[in-house]
Amino acid sequence: MKTKITLIVIIIFTAILTISSYILLKDFLEYNESEKVNMELIENVITEESKEEKITINWKELENINKDIVGWIKIQDTKIDYPILQDNDKLKYLKCSVDGKRNSNGSIFTINRNPFVEDITTIYRT
């Protein structure tokens, strides 16, 4: 009887470990894919002028990549350098990357009707 209980406990813990490992690996791979898409986006649409710490964004190129991009957030001396998205489905980018593909890491997005025109624009990140 004791060996059966021990075997059941081992099987349960093995299943939990396997499922947890799968979820962690999936999240890690999705995060890497999301970061890869963002880095490609940065390389293709942003020009930095290092003397003045000024950036220029190619909005036409951004619109070709994704029409839902409504802004950009960049904070100097940090890793924050991302597009801001908005869609009629207010929570679409909660589980989608900047290219619109399903990604549990989501993107930075706003649900304001007129972002950056209203007095306060709230941006979200999952």
With beta carbons less than 8 A apart as the criterion, state whether 56 and 46 touch. Answer: yes
Across the range 17-40, mean pLDDT stands at: 90
Q: Is pLDDT of 51 > 60? A: no
With beta carbons less than 8 A apart as the criterion, state whether 65 and 99 touch. Answer: yes
b/e map 28-60, b = 16+ CB within 10 Å: eebeeebeebbeebbeebbeeeeeeeebebeee
Q: Is pLDDT of 52 > 70? A: no
Across the range 24-31, mean pLDDT stands at: 91
- Total structural domains in the chain? 1
> Looking at per-residue confidence, does 107 or 112 come out higher?
107
- What pLDDT is attached to residue 23? 92
Q: Which residues pair with 14 in a beta bridge?
A: none
With beta carbons less than 8 A apart as the criterion, state whether 113 and 106 touch. Answer: no
Q: Is pLDDT of 92 > 80? A: yes
Structural domain that includes position 53: 2-124
- What pLDDT is attached to residue 15? 95
